[in-house]
Amino acid sequence: MDETLLNDNKKITPKTIEAVKRATAAGVHFVPNTGRSFTSIQDNLIELGLSQKPDQYVISYNGAAIVENKENQVLQVNALPHEIVDQLFQIGMNENACIHVYTVDQLYIWNMNKNEENYLDGRVTGWHLMRENNIKFLQDTPITKIIFNIEEEAKRLSMQDYVNEHVEFALNISFSSDRYIEFNDPTADKGQGTMALAKKLGIKPSEVIAIGDNSNDLPMIKDAGLGVSVANGRDFVQAAANYVTQADNNHDPIAEVIDKFIFNEE
C-alpha cells in the first residue's frame, strides 16, 4: 500500500485504478498485501472495485491475516505469543517509542505524537489511544503485530540488535515506510501469506507477481515468480527484485507492471 500502491498524497491515481479494474476483469486476483489492517483500506478497496467481492482478498499485518473481501471473512491468523508482545511492549515503552499494537480488527497506540498522527491521517483511522502502561487488557485477544515508530534508521537498526539479543523468540523483524520497526510471529511474513493464499487458490508460485518497496516486502518479492520493486524502493529491495519499475509510487508503477506483464503491452 504505502509507498507502492499509494502516492505521496496517500491516493491511488485514476490510471492505477483503471489498470487494476482491467486486470481483475480479466480474472486476476489483485491482493493488497500490507502491514496495515484490512479495516484501514476499505475505502481503497471501494476505489479499486474490490470491496465486498467474493474470491478477492487482502493480506494484512505483514502476512499475519488473510481476509476474503466478501464480508471481511478472516481465513487465517498467525498471532504472536502474548508474553512476547508484553516483553516487546515494555522495551518500546522504555525507549519512549510510539507503539502500535494490532489485533485482528483493532489498532491500539501508546504514546501518540503529532508527527505520527500527521503520517497516519488519510492512511489509518479509528485507532484507540492507550492510557495503560501494559497490554494486560488484551491478554485474551490474538495480537497479529506490534511495531515501534522510530524516525532514525540507525536507531531502528540498533533496536533490531537489542531485541535479537534480549528476546528469546525467533521473531520476524522487518522495516517499513522508513519510520517503523515491525515484529511478527515467525510464521507470518508477506511471502508466507502470499504463498498460503496462492495455494488455496490453486495458483503456482511461478504465476504470482509481488510488488513492493521496503524490507517487509522482501519475502513476497523473493517467493513470487516475478518479484518487482518500484523505482522508489530501497536499494536492497531493488537488488532482490526480478524487475524494477521505471515509475515511482507517484507515477503509477502498478499500472506499469499490469500493462507489461499481464497484458504484454509496453
Secondary structure string (H, E, C) spanning 227-246: EEECCCCCHHHHHHCCEECC
- Biggest CA-to-CA distance, the chain: 54
Domains of the chain, residue spans: 14-77+190-262, 82-184
Residue ranges with strand state E in 19-97: 57-60, 65-68, 73-77
pLDDT at res. 20 = 98
The three three-digit cell numbers of residue 245, written as one number: 519499475
pLDDT at res. 141 = 97
- CATH of the structural domain 14-77+190-262, one choice from 3.40.50.1000, 1.10.8.60, 3.40.190.10, 3.90.420.10: 3.40.50.1000
Residue 49: CB atoms within 10 Å: 14
Pick left, alpha or beta for residue 164 (phi over 0 → left; psi -120 to 50 → alpha; otherwise beta).
Answer: alpha
Instruction: Give percent helix, percent strand, percent coil of the chain, each to the nearest 5.
Output: 40, 20, 40
pLDDT digits (tens, 9 = 90+) for 4-53: 999 999 999 999 999 999 999 999 999 999 999 999 999 999 999 999 99
Query: Please, what sign has the CA dihedral across residues 253, 29, 42, 224?
Result: negative
Are the CB atoms for 20 and 47 separated by under 8 Å?
A: no
Average pLDDT over residues 217-237: 98
Strand partners, 212: 229
Residue for cell digits 522504555?
94
Question: Residue 54 — φ and ψ, nearest 5°?
Answer: -70, 150
Query: How far apart (Å, rounded) are the C-alpha atoms in residues 48 and 61?
Result: 20
| Residues 6 or more apart in contact with residue 165 via CB below 8 angstroms | none
pLDDT digits (tens, 9 = 90+) for 77-111: 999 999 999 999 999 999 999 999 999 999 999 99
Q: What percent of the chain has pLDDT over 90?
A: 98
pLDDT at res. 142 = 97
Are the CB atoms for 29 and 56 separated by under 8 Å?
A: yes
pLDDT at res. 7 = 97
Residue 157, pLDDT above cutoff 80: yes
Whole-number average pLDDT of the chain = 97
Q: Which CATH architecture has domain 82-184?
A: 2-Layer Sandwich (3.30)
pLDDT at res. 266 = 76
pTM of the model: 0.94
Residue 209: CB atoms within 10 Å: 19
Query: How far apart (Å, rounded) are the C-alpha atoms in residues 211 and 220?
Result: 8
pLDDT digits (tens, 9 = 90+) for 160-205: 999 999 999 999 999 999 999 999 999 999 999 999 999 999 999 9
pLDDT at res. 125 = 87
